[in-house]
Amino acid sequence: MKIVRNPVVSVIISVIILFTLYYSLSSTSSLSEPKPIAPSTKSNELIKDDKEIVNTPFMPKMANETIKAELGRSSWKLFHTILARYPVTPTENERETLDQFIQLFAKIYPCGDCAQHFNKLLDEFPPQTSSRSIASVWGCDIHNKVNKRLNKPLYDCAHIIEDYDCGCGEDEENAKKEAFEIEKEGKQSGG
Ligand code: FAD
Summarised one tens digit per residue, pLDDT across range 26-80 is: 444 444 444 444 444 444 455 656 666 778 888 999 999 999 999 999 999 999 9
| Residue 76 identity (one-letter amino acid) | W
Residue 187 placed within a domain: no
Per-residue pLDDT reduced to its tens digit, 90-141: 999 999 999 999 999 999 999 999 999 999 999 999 999 999 999 999 999 9
Ligand 1 atom closest to the Cα of residue 106 is: 34
Distance (Å, whole) CA 62 – CA 87: 34
Here the CATH number for the domain that contains residue 64 is: 1.20.120.310
Residue 37 belongs to a domain: no
- State the total domains in the chain: 1
pTM: 0.73
Lining residues, ligand 1, CB within 6 Å: 68-69, 72-73, 75-76, 80, 109, 113-114, 117-118, 140, 143-144, 146-147, 150, 152, 155, 160
Cα distance from N-terminal residue to C-terminal residue, the chain: 81
Rounded to an integer, what distance in angstroms lies between the CA atom of residue 109 and that of residue 89?
28
Domain coverage including residue 93: 57-178
- How many whole angstroms from 156 Cα to the centroid of ligand 1? 14
In a domain? residue 11: no
Of 122, 117, 35, give the one whose Cα is nearest residue 72.
117
